[in-house]
Structure 1
Amino acid sequence: MLQFILSAGIIAMPFLIPIVILICLRFWPMKHDGQRTAMKLAWGFYGLSLAAFLGHAATLGAGMQEFFLAFWGAPGTMGAWCYAGYAFQAFAVIALMVVVNWDTIMLFIEARRLRRERKNAEDPTQKP
């Protein structure tokens, strides 16, 4: 029975990941518009990655088994669709990292703006 639950969980993982993210969003809502935009990008890239893996499986004619093998990183044959799926997954992860680390990113942007203002205040002949 435990083996069945584990196998079913592994098979359902591509579709459980978005559900887990949605549950986390209920507990930790996004405060900034940039976070919402990055989250929309992450959803889009993740959907494109699943579509690319479906395209990979359809191209090979291997069915859903090849889809899951490609999703888990062990496809029978690496093709352009498979590489596109991995690239889209990487973009989705980067977008999620932006969502999670938004406050830190804004600290760096604010520090850069303050440095530029201080530099302009010291040297008024320099263009802003």
Structure 2
Amino acid sequence: MSKPDPGTFFREMLGQWEGIANQFGAEMMKSGEFARTMHGATTAGLKAKEAAKEAMSRALEAANMPSREDMIDMTARMRGIEARLDRIESLLAKIAGDAQPASDRPRPKRTKKPPKKGE
């Protein structure tokens, strides 16, 4: 007589448990009470998120710091300025007869550390 395989026993037990849990969950989700509860929880979560966003906005404003939206707007404006500057540099390079366009020139690395001497 061979010993029962604990792995097989565990897999069968897990399969039965999963089937029972799925059946219970499906029956629970069909009820109107579940839908109302989920709707209430979602609404409460959205209200809490909005309140936190408003509180953070007021705190940042009180500390005279930019909000996320301010930073996104500032980044978009900076990209526009950089694009215009690249066009101006390209035009100046064409006028001066420079062979390498401004957009192909090496740029400094974007890091928080200042560049080392000689870079």
Which protein shows a greater Rg? 2
Shared fold, TM over 0.5: no
- Indicate the structure whose relative CO is greater, using CA pairs within 8 Å and at least 6 residues apart: 1
Greater percentage in helix: 1
TM-score (norm 1): 0.32
TM-score (norm 2): 0.34
